[in-house]
Every structure is written in structure tokens, then in C-alpha cells.
Structure 1
């Protein structure tokens, strides 16, 4: 039976006097692939920041692997096995591809086959070809591959992707989806923020739709696929 991995309960988060999250709820088990959906500015990234400890919630709780983590420092949460591919990628521009990956290598998660450079090269052959290039010499798609590879090198229990395919050419976007399909098949727990609902219903097993910092719908892929009016109303697709 899958175990509780991430439990976000009644989360309240604000920036100064401006409250952004109002009772956010999100629950994942080990092996789940989940999405967080909504229009821009509705609180998706704030939810991720609250989970990661980058923005401290004002109320509610976040539990990761059964331990309460809201209020902990971001580096401590990361060391527990939580990795993020952030919006904007944020790779090191003046390090080579290989050094970007090596900088994040860690043995976590107790995997029998941990992520190594060789496994990342196999997942993204383009990165192997460009392993000596600096981060700022890569295309947007290559930078996104590098950001995913870098997160995998930490061997995380949970991988979070914020705007996983934003701004990518269709062929590169499909490469990223295929990567996520492979990770799902291998049992990697993933939380994805993206807008391509037709692709996400094939990838994920559960979905949370938010508007103005509140959950307006939660359910599985068959339920979401059967309600395209939800897509138009809350996601704008």
C-alpha cells in the first residue's frame, strides 16, 4: 500500500498584508503523479514555495514523509528528499553542464539504482553532447533538461516541476513529457504545474485546480478528462 508522502492541510500564506492561499489542501502518496492547475497568479507557485520552505505559511501545515516541515529551513527540507525544477530553470550560467549536475549529486531515497551522471546522460543524450558547454550556452529546451537532470541527481522522494514546459518548442516539449512518462513508470513521485491539460491527464493520476488561492476542484484523470468546461473556466484552455 502506498504511504503518505506529502500532506498540505488548510495552508494559509501571505506576502505582507496580501493573503494568497486560503486553506490549500493537497495530499500525495508515494508513487503518485499529481498536478496543480490554474491560471497565472492563482497561487500555484506560492503553494510550491510554501511546501519548499521558501515562503513561510501563516497557518495550516505541511507534512513530508510524515514529518511536519512548515517552518523548517529550505535546505533542511531539500535534504529530506524534495527537489524542484523551478520556473525559469535557474541553472548556473557559468558552470558546465556536467558541473551543474555534479554540484547537486546526493544519495537520498535509498534507491537501488540511484541517479548518476550516466543515467542522466541516458535520459537526455543532448546533455551528454553538450556536457562541456556552459549553462548560458544552452537553448531553453536544453536548460530545462539540465534543470530536470540536476533535480534528479539529488535522488528525491518527490520531484516538483513548476511550469515544466513553459516557452518550449513543441518537439522539445514532447521530449520533456516523454521524460516524465519514463519517471512515472519507474515509480518517481512527481508534482507538476503546467497548462497542457490534455497531456497531463495522460501523465498524472490526480489533479488539484485552484483559483485565487482556494481549491475549486480535485479528482482523478478520468473525471478531469470528462469535464472540459473545468479546463476553460479555471485554466483558460
Structure 2
């Protein structure tokens, strides 16, 4: 299975403040992966570098075998990377339907692409709320919409930053159900979240980040065999 996204010895930060110190990570085609760590350890900084929002001071970021560090964000997204950002960032003054159609594309060349009807089937609540404005939705509904909007680009890789942060347990369960479905359908996913038990049910492989470095990565069996890692890197 070839690498879809690879991060090698990445160093970057903000102004004079370095945040990443040789970060390494790999996501393979069709794989569901996680990036785990306490707040402030560099998870979101890693994503910002991947999407061209921060320059790579050193190291490499490759997507589909091509160097993407140094490329503009729009070009990286058009290659088939889609982000469900922390805070969702949906368009508050567009309807649910308009939000979903805003960036509709088939960036991966999917033979059976995501369409409006398929998103409504995945998230029936969005169909019920199709004419509501983005700012009329609950936090959980906004997260459904953000996921649906990202899927409408038909990405090679779907990335979710704080996938279930600040939403009700009922809708959180719905999000995990959907991510499980996407994995079964072969969609490559990278998830950042704090609910380790749910992540282990959805993901194939996991990587920890600690003070801008990647001290451990492995599959579910390896993580389950070393519960001390959970305390060391997550405090759980």
C-alpha cells in the first residue's frame, strides 16, 4: 500500500517560535489514521503546514508522491486534500444546500462521486435542514455540514481536526458511525480527536505527537498492548 501523505523531518513554527522539531508521519491509501497528543503539542501546526498555511523550515511534505511544501493552499486542496477544520468554518449566510455545493468537485476522479443526494443519505438531518442558513444549525449539525462539504470535493484524503469537539454525545455517535462507513468504503482519513476508544474502533494506525516530535506510531494492536502510552502522551 503506497503512501498517500508523508511528512518527513518537518520543522516549522510561528515567527521565531519553533513548534515542530522533525515531525514524521505517513498515511497510506485507503487507511484511517489518527494524530494523537495533548493540546499545544503541534497537531494543528502539522495540519497548517500540510495545507500550505505555514512554510516548512526544513523537511518534506509529499502528497500523491509530489512535494507540496511551499505550494499555495488552493493548489494543495485541488490535488485532493480536504480539511474539516476545528471550529467548522461553514458559511453562516449560505443555506445548508449552498454550503454543500460551494466547492463541489471531483478532485480524486472518483468513479462513483459524492453528490448532494449521497450526502443527504449519509446525514439525513442535513436534508431536513437543507434550506436553513448555516448560522441556524446546532454545533453538531454544523459539523455534519462541514464533513459533507469536504466530501463533496471527492478528496483523496479527508482530514478532520477535532472531529467531535463540543458536540452532543448523540451527534458524536453519529459522526463516529459515518467515519466508520467512510473507512469501509475505502476513503483515506486522518482524524484528530481525544476519544481514544472511538478512534481505535475507526482507525487502522495511530501516531502520537509530543512537543513537536513523533515519538511513537503503530497499529491498533500495538497501541492496545501499551496502555502506558495513553497516560504518557494523552494523560488518560
Compute the TM-score of the two structures, normalised by the length of structure 2. Answer: 0.99
Task: Tell me the matched-pair count.
Answer: 236
The reply to whether residue 75 of structure 1 matches residue 74 of structure 2 is yes
Partner of 1:189: 188
Report the Cα distance in structure 2 between the residues aligned to 1:82 and 1:75, rounded to whole angstroms: 10
The reply to whether residue 10 of structure 1 matches residue 9 of structure 2 is yes
* CA shift for structure 1 position 109: 1.1
* Gapped regions of structure 2 (runs ≥ 5): none
* CA shift for structure 1 position 3: 2.2
* CA shift for structure 1 position 140: 0.4
Report the Cα distance in structure 1 between the residues aligned to 2:215 and 2:70, rounded to whole angstroms: 26
1:91-130 pair list within 5 angstroms: 91-130=90-129
SS of residue paired to 2:130: coil
> Quick check: 219-228 or 58-67, which moved more?
219-228
* Gapped regions of structure 1 (runs ≥ 5): none
SS of residue paired to 2:209: strand
The reply to whether residue 221 of structure 1 matches residue 220 of structure 2 is yes
* CA shift for structure 1 position 24: 0.5
* CA shift for structure 1 position 112: 1.6
Partner of 1:165: 164
Partner of 2:26: 27
1:225-236 pair list within 5 angstroms: 225-236=224-235
* CA shift for structure 1 position 108: 1.8
Per-residue CA deviations over 1:139-170 (Å, capped at 9, x if unaligned) read 00000000000000000000000000011111
Q: 1:201 touches 1:222 (CA, 8 Å); kept in 2?
A: no
SS of residue paired to 1:91: coil
Compute the TM-score of the two structures, normalised by the length of structure 1. Answer: 0.98
Partner of 1:46: 45
* CA shift for structure 1 position 180: 0.2
* CA shift for structure 1 position 73: 0.1
Per-residue CA deviations over 1:105-127 (Å, capped at 9, x if unaligned) read 00121212100000000000000
C-alpha RMSD of the superposition: 0.7
* CA shift for structure 1 position 235: 0.9
SS of residue paired to 2:175: helix
* CA shift for structure 1 position 29: 1.2
SS of residue paired to 2:62: strand
Moved over 2 A (4+): none
SS of residue paired to 2:110: coil
SS of residue paired to 2:173: helix
